[in-house]
Amino acid sequence: MEICDKGTIEYENALNFQKEMLQRRVRGEISDMLILAEHYPVVTFGRVKDEENILSKASLEDDNISIFFSNRGGKITYHAPGQLLLYPIIDLRKKKRDVRYYIDFLEKMAVKSLKCLGVPAKRKENERGVWVSGKKIAFTGISLKNWVTFHGIAVNINNDITPFSYINPCGEKNIEVTSLKEVLGEELSMTIVKKIFVKSFLENMEIEYNTK
Amino acid sequence: MTGDKKIEIKLPDLTASSEKAIVTFWHAKENSAVTKEQDLVEVVTDKASFCITAPCDGKILSIFKKVGDEVDFGEKIAEITV
């Protein structure tokens, strides 16, 4: 498994990089890969262009938050520096071919990582994402082509969560959002956070997909 | 030359639990030529989009599901002649 940290990068550039790696993975030219990134402030839509879920376009403009229409699953969300994005490029063709199982895997990995960092994160039975005391801290939205994955999971670490109030995150009304910084009352080093997430990711790949 | 053999394009079983998907985007039109592994159609479930590609070179004879339609796993979406 190759780990590729793109640092802080425009959403569109990260997406183009994912698509390039996806094509190479589909052709068998590279092994599975985990891309890490942070994005400059942007609101993204999935294939469902639910523009009614923008609550304050003026606030987005005032804060210089751009809008991008993506091809991932899931609905509207927000990205900014301090939020950790994990974009696995995983070939499921010779693994368990199950979309729901894969999203479960991502959420379990995020719960495990956040618990390592002292955050009492949980999954909900009938709702996607990862939650802390009823507030959403991590958001999934994935895509697959020929059973190779791209897009992935976003986790609020040190980012300001105010702009989530400008939208209905994931198309859900009255949803509360939190971050690791808000829960712990302090910022954590993104370097340490990334190391914990990568470790959990690799461990859970072994457990859930027998990759050892 | 195409037209001798028909291949059905079906929605694969995306998850073990019974579920439907919704067609969100067609990359190709009826009667258009397609090449192997070209993007054909995208569908979404709750948090995932899935792109189905052409299994071989050919021509799209029929499209059975339009954008917004629900599709069951295993259901026929299109037919290609090769």
Choose the mutation target among B20, B22, B44, B49 for the interface with A, i.e. most A CBs under 10 Å: B49
CA-nearest of A25, A29, A34 to A91 is A25
Contact B47 A144 (CB under 8 A): no
Q: What is the pLDDT of residues A2-36, one digit of tens each?
A: 999 999 999 999 999 999 999 999 999 999 999 99
Let me know: does B66 contact B5? Beta carbons within 8 Å: no
pLDDT bucket at A172, cuts 50 / 70 / 90: confident
pLDDT bucket at A190, cuts 50 / 70 / 90: very high
Q: Which is higher by pLDDT, A211 or A44?
A: A44
In this predicted structure, the answer to whether residue A75 has a pLDDT above a threshold of 90 is: no
Contact A143 B19 (CB under 8 A): no
Walk me through the domains of chain B, giving residue ranges and CATH numbers.
Answer: 6-81 (2.40.50.100)
Active site residues of A: 170
B56-75 residues labelled b (16+ CB within 10 A) or e (exposed): eebbbbebebeeeeebebee
Contact A100 B15 (CB under 8 A): yes
Predicted pLDDT of residue A181: 97
Walk me through the domains of chain A, giving residue ranges and CATH numbers.
Answer: 2-205 (3.30.930.10)
Q: Where are the alpha helices (DSSP H) in B1-82?
A: none
**What is the Cα Rg of chain A in Å?**
16
B12 contacts in chain A (CB < 8 Å): 97
Sequence-ordered strand ranges (E) for chain B = 6-10, 20-26, 33-34, 39-44, 48-53, 58-63, 70-72, 76-81
Rounded to whole angstroms, how far apart are CA atoms A82 and A80? 6
Choose the mutation target among A25, A69, A98, A99 for the interface with B, i.e. most B CBs under 10 Å: A99
CA A44, distance to chain mean position in Å, is 12
Predicted pLDDT of residue B67: 94
Q: What is the pLDDT of residues A109-156, one digit of tens each?
A: 999 999 999 999 999 988 899 999 999 999 999 999 989 999 999 999
In this predicted structure, the answer to whether residue B1 has a pLDDT above a threshold of 70 is: no
Predicted pLDDT of residue B2: 53
Predicted pLDDT of residue A72: 82
